């Protein structure tokens, strides 16, 4: 163990010394310098090399490809294949950045990739730790963690409310029904027409390796104001970005009707305010698309024209977050014209990321466990959806001879005291007598009893219960998708 720790310390010290000596980039060897023979875009997966500098014989898959032709070098991707002597360099995924010219100079480095942002040094250290663990009998050295992406559920894989279309908020406060994939809401801030946002998995197919996307559309009506997808970053994650560059990146594609509507134009925003966690309870005067935060500023914005071929590409937006900022939001919007409406009048997006630094890094995949825990701080739903199931959801006590109250513990502490609601369909049941569930004839949230830790519900049944006796809230053995839910979203 002592030898292992000594080796780790030596490697880390050597790495840090090399990094400091070569700022702003961390250099590693071996590496190769080659010239491109043609241009590429940020949706290209192959790069043609000049015939005078073909693929090197010793090049390893996974090597980092850095474009050194601009004022600041950027990692554009990682090698999937590059057969020795050929001029076809294939990347693992689409290039992060387009070429500067048709003769860009590329640096291809084996082993550890170099990083343009100092806070990405942790990735290098974790790579070294993985090498040590791989050569030892027991992988006991833990990786250093520092999440780059401060957005939750950027890949839309958590869908606590289901995948049905969420209607965008209009002139009032945002409510739970205006959210689609967890943490993502839709707003139009006007009363005319209907905007919707919905999790989809096709038409178009999300870019690899993503499996879900948000479709933002003008569903109907004369709606000629911005339709926006939003997410707010909690204050605890904002403080680490104060006084820094921040970069918002995402993958997006137009739907078939957007070109005829507004020429495939969407707008991306990074906005900030000077008071913590004000949320989306009110908006600036209609028809503005900014929340009514103290000190609101939405000047970090970019108009983006999406390809007419309805294919995905990655887009980025960078700006400085002031030291006074205490809340940050990101938004992707489109503004319809008088023409068009329907399920294809809009755009789709996925892979959303907000991070410190002046350039976008590769999308950071968080574990599913982390994503769902983060999402459940804001929204938690229990659904009675399994036919034949009498699964126990909560324990409680009969308060009368025909009613009982139940405490529903939350899986994680919620962000704030939540607001609860239940479905119109009542399908839960109460065990009025041991082993004999009786369906609830009335089911309701006890709003005054909610805390960030648990909620309460009441169930009225036609059966006779014993006041003061213990009871269980169970499934009603139907598949009606009845639910109880609590929201602490912004």
Locate CATH 2.60.120.200 in the chain: 166-369
- Non-local (6+) Cβ contacts of 182 within 8 A are 152, 153, 158, 159, 160, 161, 375, 378, 379
| Gap between the Cα atoms of 7 and 4, Å rounded | 5
| Gap between the Cα atoms of 200 and 184, Å rounded | 14
Interior angle at CA 134, CA 133 and CA 135, nearest 5: 95
Are residues 229 and 216 in contact, defined by beta-carbon separation less than 8 angstroms?
yes
Q: Are strands 454-461 and 403-409 parallel, antiparallel or unpaired?
A: antiparallel
**Phi and psi of 384, rounded to 5°?**
-95, 90
| Gap between the Cα atoms of 159 and 350, Å rounded | 14
- Comparing CA positions, the residue from 274, 276, 277 lying closest to residue 294 is 274
Q: Tell me, what's the pLDDT at 107?
A: 86
| Gap between the Cα atoms of 2 and 390, Å rounded | 54
| Gap between the Cα atoms of 261 and 226, Å rounded | 13
Q: Tell me, what's the pLDDT at 229?
A: 97
490 residues of the chain, pLDDT tens digit each:
545 555 555 555 455 545 444 444 334 446 788 888 899 887 788 999 998 889 988 777 778 888 887 666 678 888 888 888 899 999 877 887 888 888 889 988 864 444 444 444 554 555 455 555 555 444 444 444 558 999 999 999 999 999 999 999 988 789 999 999 999 999 987 777 789 999 999 999 999 999 999 999 988 777 788 899 999 999 999 999 999 999 999 999 999 999 988 999 999 999 999 999 999 988 887 667 789 999 999 999 999 999 987 899 999 999 999 999 999 999 999 998 877 667 889 999 999 999 999 999 999 999 999 999 999 999 999 988 765 667 888 999 988 888 899 999 999 999 999 999 998 766 688 776 666 778 888 889 999 999 999 999 998 886 777 888 888 888 876 656 788 999 999 9
Q: Tell me, what's the pLDDT at 282?
A: 85
- Comparing CA positions, the residue from 271, 282, 261 lying closest to residue 241 is 271
The residue ranges of DSSP E strands in 264-325, in sequence order, are 265-273, 297-305, 313-321
Q: Tell me, what's the pLDDT at 58?
A: 76
- Comparing CA positions, the residue from 12, 3, 77 lying closest to residue 43 is 77
297-335 in b/e form (b: 16+ CB < 10 A) is bbebeeebebeeebebbbbbbbbebeeebbbbbbbbbbb
Q: Are strands 297-305 and 105-109 parallel, antiparallel or unpaired?
A: unpaired
May I ask the CATH architecture of the domain 166-369?
Sandwich (2.60)
CA distances from 180 to 140, 160, 199, 269, 349 (A): 40, 9, 7, 19, 13
Q: Tell me, rounded to whole angstroms, the distance of Cα 38 from its chain centroid.
A: 34
| Gap between the Cα atoms of 489 and 230, Å rounded | 12
Q: Tell me, what's the pLDDT at 10?
A: 54
Q: Tell me, what's the pLDDT at 235?
A: 93
3-class secondary-structure state, position 3: helix
- Which residue is it, tokens 């958590």? 158
3-class secondary-structure state, position 260: helix
| Gap between the Cα atoms of 422 and 176, Å rounded | 12
- Comparing CA positions, the residue from 447, 393, 375 lying closest to residue 418 is 447
Are residues 136 and 4 in contact, defined by beta-carbon separation less than 8 angstroms?
yes
| Gap between the Cα atoms of 441 and 153, Å rounded | 37
């Amino acid at each position: 163990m002592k030898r292992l720790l000594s080796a780790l310390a030596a490697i880390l010290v050597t790495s840090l010394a090399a990094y400091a000596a070569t700022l702003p980039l961390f250099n590693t060897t071996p590496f190769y310098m080659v010239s491109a023979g043609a241009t590429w875009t940020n949706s290209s997966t192959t790069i043609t090399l000049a015939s005078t500098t073909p693929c090197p014989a010793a090049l390893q898959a996974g090597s980092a490809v850095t474009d050194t032709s601009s004022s600041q070098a950027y990692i554009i991707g990682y090698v999937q294949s590059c057969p020795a002597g050929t001029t076809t360099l294939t990347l693992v995924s689409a290039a992060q950045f387009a070429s500067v010219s048709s003769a860009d100079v590329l640096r291809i480095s084996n082993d550890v990739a170099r990083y343009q942002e100092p806070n990405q040094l942790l990735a290098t250290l974790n790579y070294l730790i993985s090498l040590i663990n791989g050569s030892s009998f027991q992988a006991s050295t833990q990786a250093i963690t520092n999440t780059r992406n401060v957005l939750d559920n950027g890949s839309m894989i958590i869908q606590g409310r289901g995948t049905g279309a969420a209607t965008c908020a209009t002139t009032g406060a945002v409510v739970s029904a205006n959210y689609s994939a967890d943490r993502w809401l839709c707003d139009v801030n006007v009363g005319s027409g209907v905007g919707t946002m919905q999790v989809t998995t096709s038409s178009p197919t999300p870019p690899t390796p993503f499996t879900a996307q948000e479709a933002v559309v003008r569903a109907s009506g004369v709606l000629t104001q911005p339709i926006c997808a939003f997410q707010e970053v909690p204050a605890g994650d904002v403080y680490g970005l104060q006084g820094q560059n921040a970069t918002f990146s995402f993958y997006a594609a137009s739907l078939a009707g957007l070109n005829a509507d507004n020429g495939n134009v969407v707008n991306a925003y990074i906005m900030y305010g000077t008071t913590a966690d004000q949320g989306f309870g009110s908006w600036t005067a209609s028809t503005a698309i900014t929340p009514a935060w103290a000190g609101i500023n939405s000047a970090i914005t970019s108009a983006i024209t999406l390809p007419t071929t309805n294919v995905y590409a990655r887009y980025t937006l960078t700006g400085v977050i002031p030291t006074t900022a205490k809340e940050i939001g990101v938004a992707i919007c489109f503004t319809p014209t008088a023409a068009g409406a329907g399920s294809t009048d809009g755009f789709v997006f996925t892979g959303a990321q907000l991070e410190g630094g002046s350039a976008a890094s590769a999308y950071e995949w968080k574990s599913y466990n982390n994503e769902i825990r983060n999402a459940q701080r804001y929204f938690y739903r229990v659904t009675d959806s399994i036919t034949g199931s009498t699964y126990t959801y909560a324990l409680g006590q009969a308060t009368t001879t025909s009613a009982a109250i139940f405490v529903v513990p939350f899986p994680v502490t919620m962000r704030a005291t939540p607001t609860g609601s239940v479905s119109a369909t009542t399908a839960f049941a109460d065990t009025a007598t041991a082993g004999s569930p009786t369906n609830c004839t009335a089911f309701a949230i006890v709003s005054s009893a909610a805390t960030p830790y648990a909620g309460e519900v009441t169930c009225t049944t036609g059966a006779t219960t014993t006041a003061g006796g213990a009871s269980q809230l169970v499934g009603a053995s139907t598949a009606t998708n009845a639910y109880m839910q609590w929201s602490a979203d912004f």
